[in-house]
Amino acid sequence: MSGAAVLAHGGSHGTGSAAAAWLLPVLVAVVLGAGYLAGVARMRGSGRRWSGGRTASFLLGAVLVGAALSPAVDAGTADGHMAQHLLLGMFAPIALVMGAPVTLLLSGLPVSARRPAAVLLRSRVLHGLSHVATAAVLSVGGLYLLYLTPLYALSARSDVVHHLLHLHFLLAGYLFAWAVAGPDPAPRRPGMAVRLVVLVVAGGLHAFLAKLLFSRAPVLPVGGGHDAAEVEVAAQLMYYGGHVADLLLLVALFAAWYRRTGRALAREPAAVASNAPAV
């Protein structure tokens, strides 16, 4: 990475002690994890059970968010940026979504508060935002804007833009994972075929951007000031890391489909056999 780029990015994020630099990532991870565990404790206190696997998944997601925001990853290099975007925009959201936090939250709400929450879940605004196609545009489209426009250079100069981008990728990634295969209820979720097609298209666009970055290094990202070799490593991270994340979502999608329909289909032959007349 060029010295100018390091100063542009690292100078704004490197002030203060090393301990202070770790404060935000640790705080975010602890708040996410503690809030979720409080919900689990409240549910178990009322005599209801909650999946340990879902708890472990959400806590893993909280750790991944903290790791993505840590100085160890947020180092101002092209591959560091890419690792952040993979963690915040793909891997952490998948883990968080599989923890079913909305279901946990709704289960802990009093009856008087559940009705407004149910109205919100059925609202047109949330339906539009959580539609799998919209979520894909927000997630993948955000990457295209970042790497193909001056937004990348702007984020290196501005802490506000830098952190807003982090928030965008986390929320957009969460919406996409939720829309594709989330266990939480979603308003008018499309059928499996639509979600599968959108997942494949989004994965293809993600891979295309990675190849574009690799072939156009160091011209891309615009205004990044990184060495070509550094951008090539980042592009490889995007390409292969994106494929792994898409595979995880694909497995989750088919697992959810099997839970809803596969078991019912498996029971049908047995039901037919039990109703067949004796010979």
Cα angle 40, 34, 112 (rounded to 5 degrees) comes to 55
Confidence band (pLDDT; 50, 70, 90) for 9? very low
Residue 277 per-residue DSSP state: P
Q: So what's the pLDDT on residue 120?
A: 80
- CA–CA dist 115, 110 (Å, integer): 9
User: Is 201 inside a domain boundary?
Assistant: yes
**123 in helix, strand or coil?**
coil
- How do residues 210-257 score in pLDDT, each as one tens digit? 999 999 998 989 888 899 999 999 999 999 999 999 999 999 999 988
Q: Which domain holds residue 70?
A: 3-260
- CA–CA dist 112, 108 (Å, integer): 12
- How do residues 140-193 score in pLDDT, each as one tens digit? 999 999 999 999 999 989 999 999 999 999 999 999 999 999 999 887 789 999
Least confident window among 31-35, 242-246, 266-270: 266-270
User: Is 229 inside a domain boundary?
Assistant: yes
Confidence band (pLDDT; 50, 70, 90) for 265? low
* pLDDT over 60 (residue 12): no
User: Is 270 inside a domain boundary?
Assistant: no
- CA–CA dist 57, 98 (Å, integer): 6
Residue 141 is which amino acid? G
Q: So what's the pLDDT on residue 7?
A: 36
Q: So what's the pLDDT on residue 41?
A: 95
**242 in helix, strand or coil?**
helix
User: Is 269 inside a domain boundary?
Assistant: no
- CA–CA dist 159, 5 (Å, integer): 14
* pLDDT over 90 (residue 35): yes
Q: So what's the pLDDT on residue 111?
A: 78
User: Is 279 inside a domain boundary?
Assistant: no
Q: How many domains does the chain have?
A: 1
Q: So what's the pLDDT on residue 274?
A: 52
- How do residues 71-130 score in pLDDT, each as one tens digit? 988 777 899 999 999 999 999 999 999 999 999 998 888 877 777 887 887 788 888 888
User: Is 268 inside a domain boundary?
Assistant: no
User: Is 277 inside a domain boundary?
Assistant: no
Question: What are all long-range contacts of 243-248, with beta carbons under 8 Å and residues at least 24 apart?
Answer: 243/203, 243/207, 245/86, 245/90, 245/91, 245/94, 246/199, 246/202, 246/203, 246/206, 248/91, 248/94
